[in-house]
Structure 1
Amino acid sequence: MKAIVLAGGSGTRLRPITHTHAKQLVPVANRPVLFYGLEAIAEAGIRDVGVVVGDTHAEIEAAVGDGSAFGIEVTYLRQEAPLGLAHAVLIARDFLGDDPFVMYLGDNFVLGGITGIVRGFAERRPDAQIMLTRVPDPRQFGVAELDSGGRVVGLEEKPARPKSDLALVGVYLFTPVVHEVIAELKPSARGELEITETLQLLLDSGRRVDSTVISGYWKDTGNVADMLEVNRLVLESLEPRQDGVVTDSEIIGRVVIEAGADVSCSRIVGPAVIGAGSVIRDSYVGPFTSIGDRCRIDASEIEYSIVLRDAAISGVGRIEASLIGRDVEVTPAAQTPRAHRLVLGDHSRVQISS
């Protein structure tokens, strides 16, 4: 069995971070989301992996390399434009050959991995296998309809009136028969080759599409709230470790302080991770916070947040539920006159307390 991992796309919901950063490489617990997916594929026993890349290909390739760090062998497949999930399968046709395969969306996070579903697919060998989870607002997702026996009878992409609350999780398994369907597929109204339509056409032609409703944790890390929630979840399983220097500070709970980090006159309450080379002075770092490499936190408080590498936060009081990008500087405004001075990029989101 092979796998393709989708690591293209523009990541519009995470702008402005993704103006300069591949969305699949935005970190949770100081590791890119994409890495968790690659590890899940390796744990499922799949070694031959095609990574579908777009405009951010250079950054993805630099981070992933040849795949040996994950125990896999990577082939890069260039998608010239984000023309749909089924289009990614189309351009991977030569790589996939006649093998069954997993398609994994590189910005998705599935707690517990995919080993069980891959094993079940190999044993039962349906034409396709999908993973589903119940969501509060299925209008934002591909939605599956099941009959009274639990069989898949229909699928729709972002329906205005969903027939169920079962959303497609970003992991799909296919036999080579899917290539016949995709070869005949026409672009949807939004100009994409849709994977939901592909699955529906498989059903319409009498092919077998199995489903598994997962009760565990799944997130599409396409927005800040979901990134912070996945960060929280990963940090929950953190094993404490102190490789950096800690002076006159209080370390409480599960905290990782990486080599080269320097914490002084501060209070760190875990689960939290302080990246290599970071400096924390006279500050409070609260639970569910990831501080990236070479950051500086000075006379400030931060909790339930992600801070990317080389950022600096100084003297700004308390920060919560925030995603702070690389090389960002956060400093206090002048006391008089009382005003906020902002330099914001396109698609920024700012909340200011009065």
Structure 2
Amino acid sequence: MKALILAGGSGTRLRPLTHTASKQLVPIANKPILFYGLEAIAECGIHEVGVVVGHTALEVQAAVGDGSEFGLQVTYLSQDAPRGLAHAVLIAREFLGDDDFVMYLGDNFLVGGIAEIVEGFATREASTAAGILLARVPDPRKFGVAEVSPDGTVLRLVEKPDIPPSDLALVGVYLFDRRIHDAVSQIAPSARGELEITDAISHLISMGYGVKSSMVDGYWKDLGDPEALLDGNRIALMAIRSSIMGEVVDSKVEGLVRIEAGARIVDSIVRGPAVIGRDVSLQSSYVGPFSAIGDRCTITSSEIVNSIILSDSQVDNVGSLEGSVIGKFAMIGHRTERPRATKLVVGDHARVELL
């Protein structure tokens, strides 16, 4: 079996972070989202992985390399524009050959791995051409939605319906055999101009092939917006291992906390779960639960709670920040000179909430 991981797309819901970065490389617990998917693939015993990349290809390639760090052999497949999940299968035809494969969306965060469903697909009946993973969601209108029989057989799929037939959303993990290639070649672009994987799977069903479903047992989240990103960060932080490799001076470190090498914590409190990146300077500050501070950040006289601060940023004397996502090389400070008005330099699609 092979794997196909999708790491393209524009990440519009995560702007402005994704104006200059791949959405799949935005970190939770200081590790890029994409890496969690690569690790899940490796845990299944799969070695050959095709990574579909778009306009952020160079950044993804620099982060993932040849895949050897994950025990994988990575082949990069270029997609000129976001043309749909089925289009990703179409351009991967030569790489996939006639092998079974798992398709994994690189911005999904799934706790518990996929080894069980991969193993189940390997022992399926000959008539079964595909398998999908489902989760119950409060608002299925935002997702592809499945209607299934009591035994888990998929009867119908609808992409982002106004009136959903169920509350069962497609999780970004799919399993296919070679019959999917005929299906993606037979469908036409949807109203939004993309080749939808739901249409391709529906074509398999119309041809009389079986499509089986499995329910997500643990946590799953599409980390496509800031609120979901913070939620995923909280879950990921609860799974870290405590370790202190940096320097702690006149400070308290409580709970589940990882402090990376080169970090210096002075006259501060760090209360986990939290992670402090490499070469971070934390001075006279408080980092509270569910916070991830990226490499080389400087935090002075401030309080950070339930937040993600990406690498090389500075937060100086700003009081308390909570539920915040701050990008790379950002500078947030307290204005001391007069006039004492709030001063902002804010990019496109940013969101600022003031007291």
TM-score above 0.5: yes
The CA distance in 1 between the partners of 2:101 and 2:48, in whole Å, is 10
- For residue 299 of structure 2, what is the aligned residue in structure 1? 297
Equivalent position of 1:17 in the other structure: 17
- Deviation per CA, 1:273-317: give whole Å up to 9, x if none: 110000000000000100000000000000101110000000000
1:347 corresponds to 2:349: yes
1:148 to partner: Cα distance:
4.0
Q: Distance in 2 between matches of 1:108 and 1:185?
A: 25
Q: Secondary structure at the match of 1:153?
A: strand
Alpha-carbon separation, structure 1, partners of 2:332 and 2:313:
8
**Is the aligned partner of 1:204 residue 2:176?**
no
Q: Distance in 2 between matches of 1:228 and 1:143?
A: 25
- Preserved contact between residue 152 and residue 214 of structure 2 (Cα < 8 Å): no
**Which residue of 2 is the match for residue 4 of structure 1?**
4
* Selected match of 2:226 from 224, 249, 252: 224
Matched residue type, 1:134 = R
Q: CA deviation at 1:150?
A: 3.4
Match of 1:172 among 148, 171, 174: 174
Once the two structures are superposed, what CA deviation does each residue of 1:174-209 show, in whole Å capped at 9, x if it has no partner? Answer: 000010111111100000000011111111111100
> Which aligned segments of 4 or more residues in structure 1 are displaced greater than 6 angstroms?
none
CA distance in structure 1 between the aligned counterparts of 2:168 and 2:338, rounded to whole angstroms: 53
Q: CA deviation at 1:216?
A: 1.1
Q: 2:123 is paired with a residue of what secondary structure?
A: helix
SS in structure 1 opposite 2:188? coil
Aligned to 1:154: 156
Give TM-score, length-normalised by structure 1: 0.98
Deviations 1:237-256 (A, max 9, x none): 22111110100001111111
Mapping 1:67-106, distance limit 5 Å:
67-106=67-106
> Counterpart of 1:352 in 2: which secondary structure?
coil
Once the two structures are superposed, the pairs formed by residues 274-285 of structure 1 within 5 Å of their partners are: 274-285=276-287
| One-letter amino acid matched to 2:51 | V
The alignment's C-alpha RMSD in Å is 1.0
Amino acid at match of 2:35: F
Cα deviation per residue 1:205-246 (whole Å; 9 max; x = unaligned)? 111000001131101110111111111111112211111010
Which residue number in structure 1 is paired with residue 197 of structure 2? 195
Contact 2:305 2:323 (C-alpha < 8 Å) held by counterparts: yes
| CA distance in structure 2 between the partners assigned to 1:213 and 1:257 by the alignment | 36
**Corresponding residue SS for 1:302:** strand
TM-score (normalizing by structure 2): 0.98
Instruction: Tell me, yes or no, if the aligned pair for 2:272 and 2:289 is still in contact at 8 Å.
Output: yes
**Which residue identity is paired with 2:54?**
G
Q: After the TM superposition, which residues 123-162 of structure 1 pair with which residues of structure 2 at under 5 Å, given as runs?
A: 123-125=123-125, 126-162=128-164
Deviation track 1:35-74 (CA, whole Å, cap 9, x = no partner) reads 0000000000100000000000000000000000000000
Please say which of residues 176-185 and 164-173 is displaced more in the overlay.
176-185
Are the equivalent residues in 1 in contact too, given 2:130–2:177 (CA < 8 A)?
A: yes
Mapped partners of 1:340, 1:132: distance in 2 = 46
Quote the Cα distance in structure 1 between the aligned partners of 2:16 and 2:152: 41
Query: 1:339 & 1:160 partners in 2: Cα distance?
Result: 45
Q: Which residue of 2 aligns with 1:40?
A: 40
Q: What amino acid maps onto 2:76 in structure 1?
A: Y
**Structure 2 CA distance for aligned equivalents of residues 239 and 186 of structure 1:** 48
Provide the aligned length of Structure 1 versus Structure 2: 353
Q: What is the deviation of 1:334? A: 4.4
**Aligned equivalents of 1:81 and 1:263: distance in 2?**
44
Report the alpha carbon displacement of residue 342 of structure 1 after superposing the two structures with TM.
1.4
CA contact (8 A) 2:153 2:210 kept: no
Aligned to 1:186: 188
The answer for the alignment partner of 1:327 in structure 2 is 329
Match in the other structure for 1:54? 54
Q: CA deviation at 1:352?
A: 1.1
Question: How far apart, in 2, do the equivalents of 1:148 and 1:213 lie?
Answer: 12
Determine the C-alpha separation between the residues in 2 that align with 1:154 and 1:343: 48
Deviation larger for 342-351 or 47-56: 342-351
State the distance in 2 between where 1:149 and 1:236 align: 34
Amino-acid identity (%)? 58
Deviation at 1:147?
A: 2.7
Matches of 2:296 and 2:151, distance apart in 1: 54
State the AA in 1 paired with 2:243.
R
The 1-side partners of 2:335 and 2:161 are apart by 46
How many angstroms does 1:151 deviate by?
2.2
Alpha-carbon distance between aligned partners in 1 of 2:191 and 2:275, rounded to the nearest angstrom: 44
Alpha-carbon shift at residue 336 of structure 1 (Å): 4.9
Kindly provide the CA deviation profile for residues 110-131 of structure 1, in whole angstroms up to 9, marking residues without a partner as x: 1011100000000115200000
Residue identity opposite 2:155 in structure 1: V
Kindly provide the amino acid, as one letter, of the partner of residue 135 in structure 2.
T
5+ residue gaps, structure 2, are none
Counterpart AA for 1:269 = R
Alignment of 1:247-266 (within 5 A): 247-266=249-268
